[in-house]
Amino acid sequence: MPEIDIRITGRAGRIALTRPKALNAMTYDMCMAIDTALRNWREDDAVDLVIMDAEGDKAFCAGGDIADLYATGIKGDYDFGRAFWRDEYLLNALIFEYPKPVVSFLQGFTMGGGVGIGCHGSHRIVGESSKIALPECSIGLVPDVGSTLMLALAPGRVGEFLGTTGHRMGPGDAIFSGFADHFIPIAQWPDLIEMLEASGDAELIAKHASPPPESHLAELQPFIDAHFAGESLSDIQNALSTSDHAQSDETLKSMSRNSPLSMACTVEILHRLRGPSLTQRKALELEYRFTYRAMEHGDFLEGIRAQIIDKDRTPRWQFSDRSVPAVAVSKMLQPLGSDMLTFEER
């Protein structure tokens, strides 16, 4: 079975991820196939909208397939990873800026790279099983694929909370925080897709939407805003450590699994992005500064070793005392000069 099924059905360009046993994890070839299809359909009058979905109940897309990234990076070859991230980010920008409706159906896990293809379109649909998360700090990365845009725009300090803890959002949380638009029961998806294919009319989606479940994140926002408003990771950790709130210990436990350098850079990225100059391209360019350096200077290879390769779940992070110097954050996020991410058409 191929990794991805790309076709035109009726008035719709159809992109279906077909690796259910691998939780539809994104490979570099899948990324480039989606990119090519979207560029072809952009000027095709036969295509009114694009529909993205995936096979299997467990996941729309549980992230990027990082086996090749590790295999090359551990040998000191950082160019493959840098090219993968660059081209993936260009695809994320293409989806975000696409001139036609892009409809995504996000069942089960949508994490990491899955957020990059599933959560930048114009119509993002979740159902009962949807779980959206950004667990990148647990493998020594930062939330990327343009997700820092949504984190920076999330209510209050919810972005810092999601980015540093990897908290899994249910459907109500995803809509509350800006990662999804509509809740539609999964049993209705096949009929809705058929109608979209036949009509090419994305306005049908809102007519089929149901009220979303309650958001646990919305209930937690007062706690989050009170404890995640600091200027640095140290400020956040200090606020949580001295808090008597029932949620504080669980939050610190979630953060204890993650790379301190990655969490500190995540906080700094969100602080730099917030404001009137926030754009998707700015978010991607800042993320790329980190991922470009992640293998050589960050914790990425150690994070993958501990989580995926040896599976000992005991990564030896830099700054294991959880005190990350500001200079270390600045080093990871300084401009890349001639290697910076640019968005010219390929």
The residues that are catalytic are 64, 113, 136, 144
Are 122 and 172 contacting, i.e. CB atoms less than 8 angstroms apart? no
List, in order, residues 6 or more apart from 194 with CB less than 8 Å away.
none
- In the sheet where 12-17 sits, what is the strand order? 4-9, 12-17, 49-54, 102-106, 123-126, 182-183
Please give the Cα distance from 99 to 96 (Å, whole number): 9
Long-range contacts of 127-130 (CB under 8 A, 24+ apart): 127/171, 127/183, 127/184, 127/185, 127/186, 127/189, 128/171, 128/185, 128/186, 129/57, 129/186, 130/106, 130/169, 130/170, 130/171, 130/174, 130/180
Report the C-alpha dihedral over residues 303, 308, 312, 318, rounded to 10 degrees.
Answer: 0
List, in order, residues 6 or more apart from 318 with CB less than 8 Å away.
259, 260, 261, 298, 299, 328
Pairing of strands 4-9, 12-17: antiparallel
Please give the Cα distance from 228 to 261 (Å, whole number): 17
